[in-house]
Amino acid sequence: MPDHPPAGPANPTRREFLVTTGSTAAATVIAACVPAQASSIAEQSTPADNATNIEGAVPITLRINGKEHRLRIDPRTTLLDCLRETVSLTGTKKGCDHGQCGACTVHVNGRRAVSCLSLALMHDGEDITTIEGLGSPDALHPMQAAFVACDGYQCGYCTSGQIMSAVALLKEPCGPDDAAVKELMSGNICRCGAYPNIVAAIQQVRKNA
């Protein structure tokens, strides 16, 4: 692979490639496995009128990253699955799906929570912030910038959860030393073991605050 691939449609980024092929593959698999009405969900790109044909779907309004979303969802839908599959905000990651790894951490009304152990319906009318709402590639949140500067990741899968936790931590009671940060970040597992750099990134932001 060249060091500097030319940009453009002929050279999709890894993310564009995965999104394109992933949605095609998902549509194929879903069409094969579930009742016909559900396959329309994957093909629809507009989330606002999603899932109108799902049996037993109920209405819900979520304010996600400052934008109101009126959705219809199966009551079983977790907040995590709602964000990823219904609203197509895939920055929030599914790790263990049982509240043990922290990859799915988002902010609910400004406080961090694991979105896998919450039903979306429990948050009707509430404010949800995901990694997509923190900053943009052109204007990173200071915590995102610190993770880049301190190399606070390796594979990156846990990173959005780590950053969401870290940003929430800034507003929580937390002692000044590294040990206090480690304790309050213990709900976010990093199997690459980037912990020292994650702590460094958080401490850098706290010192500059």
Partner 1 sequence: MHTFEFIRPADPDAAIATASQAKTAQQGADVRFIGGGTTLIDLMKLNVETPARVLDINRLPFDKIEATSDGGLKIGATVRNSDLAHHPTVQRDYAVLSQAILNGASAQLRNMATTAGNLLQRTRCMYFRDTAMPCNKREPGTGCPAITGANRMLAILGTSDHCVATNPSDMCIAMAALEATIHIQGTKGPRAIRFGDFHLLPGSTPHRETVLEPGDLVTHVTLPPPIPGSKQVYLKLRDRASYEFALASAAVVITIAGGNVTKARIALGGVGTKPWRSPEAEAALVGKPADAANFRKAAEAALRNAKPQTENGFKIELAKRCLTHALQTAVNA
Q: How many residues bind partner 1 (CB under 8 A)?
A: 34
Smallest distance, partner 1 to C-beta of residue 21, A: 28
Half-sphere exposure of 184 (CA within 13 A, CB side): 22
Distance of CA 183 to the CA centre of its chain: 22
Sign of CA dihedral 107, 108, 113, 118: negative
CB burial of 4-40 (b: ≥16 within 10 Å; e: otherwise) equals: eeeeeeeeeeeeeeeeeeeeeeeeeebeeeeeeebbb
Q: 100 is written with which tokens?
A: 């043990």
Select 97 or 149, whichever has its Cβ closest to partner 1. 97
Q: Looking only at residues 3 through 62 of this chain, which bind partner 1 when binding is defined by CB under 8 A?
A: 56, 58
Select 39 or 78, whichever has its Cβ closest to partner 1. 78
What is the residue type of 83? L
The residues, any chain, with a CB within 8 Å of residue 175's CB and separated by 6 or more, are none
Smallest distance, partner 1 to C-beta of residue 84, A: 16
Select 5 or 75, whichever has its Cβ closest to partner 1. 75
Pick the stretch among 1-9, 10-18, 28-36, 185-193 that binds partner 1 (CB under 8 A): 185-193
One-character DSSP codes across 117-131:
GSBGGGGTT-EEE-G
Q: Does 90 bind partner 1 (CB under 8 A)?
A: no
Closest by Cα among 107, 118, 65, 73 to 89: 65
From 26, 31, 38, 119, residue interacting with partner 1 (rule: CB under 8 A):
119
Query: For partner 1, what does the binding mask look like between residues 134 and 173, x meaning CB under 8 A?
Result: -------------------------------x--xx--xx
Smallest distance, partner 1 to C-beta of residue 129, A: 14
Select 128 or 168, whichever has its Cβ closest to partner 1. 168
Q: 13 is written with which tokens?
A: 């980024």
Pick the stretch among 1-9, 23-31, 98-106, 149-157 that binds partner 1 (CB under 8 A): 98-106
Q: 193 is written with which tokens?
A: 């073991």
Select 79 or 89, whichever has its Cβ closest to partner 1. 79
Catalog residues that contact partner 1 under the rule CB under 8 A: 56, 58, 74-76, 78, 97-99, 102, 105, 108, 111-114, 116-119, 121-122, 165, 168-169, 172-173, 182-188
